Amino acid sequence: MIRSIAITGAGAGIGRATARAFLADGWEVTLIGRRADPLTETAAGHAARIIPCDVGDPAQVEAAFASLPRLDVLFNNAGISAPTAPIDEIPVDLWLEVSRTNITGMFLCARAAFGLMRRQTPRGGRIINNGSISAHVPRPGSAPYTMSKHAVTGLTRTLGLDGRAFDIACAQLDIGNALTDMAVGYTKGVAQADGVVRVEPAMDVDHVAKMVLHMASLPLEVNTPFVTIMARDMPYIGRG
């Protein structure tokens, strides 16, 4: 039986790399993102279900997941960042934008996937939330993003508990310095806790895609609640 996965934020970066890894491995892949054109580019000629959807919009999310005949895995990946600034210099509208995608969007997609997984036959599935190193330790001036990723950890823990009764596993992948367009700044210099700007090591995003594929391929009686994958020498263990 061909397994199925839905990937949010599939139009670029980690979502695109992960989608292509699953397509190459023969999965039935649903690509979810704001715009159809980047999703089509991600598919690169492979057969994939393409669903334009704003993950922060409850009606759009409900419609997107209602169109799926079955769902074995959700890679709950969509997320945005915000410019670095002290909290009193961060516009409230920017905070609301980040929380709408990174918190509300994560909740809505997990909610829809959970409901589908508990009612399908055979029952069950796996939800993999995209966390971040920032779910553990912050970068300077990152209040909106760091708060949102701590919220993802709470979601992961709760779903991991609530999912047991319905054969649903929930895991979180905390990623550090995967080289995507959003993270290219690491190679140019990033402000550290001591105020110094330093270039940081980065890793190929394909390593992240392979890790998601590994996590998704585990039997449902096995879970990896929290996994960290990072460029080996990035400042994480010693951050701050």
Structure tokens at 123: 């029952």
Active site residue 186: no
Do 207 and 229 form a contact (C-beta atoms < 8 A)?
yes
- Burial zone of 69 (CB within 10 Å; 0-12 exposed, 13-18 middle, 19+ buried): exposed
Could you tell me how many residues make up the chain?
240
Catalytic residue of the set 145, 151, 176, 212: 145
For residue 136, what is the enclosing H or E element?
none
For residue 157, what is the enclosing H or E element?
helix 143-162
Please, which residues have CB within 8 angstroms of residue 233's CB and are 6 or more apart in sequence?
A: 201
Do 39 and 52 form a contact (C-beta atoms < 8 A)?
yes
Do 100 and 56 form a contact (C-beta atoms < 8 A)?
yes
Q: Which long-range contacts (CB under 8 A, 24 or more apart) does 98-101 make?
A: 98/144, 98/145, 98/148, 99/144, 99/147, 99/148, 100/56, 101/55, 101/56
- E-assigned strands of 24-154? 28-33, 49-52, 73-76, 125-130
Show which residues are catalytic. Answer: 145
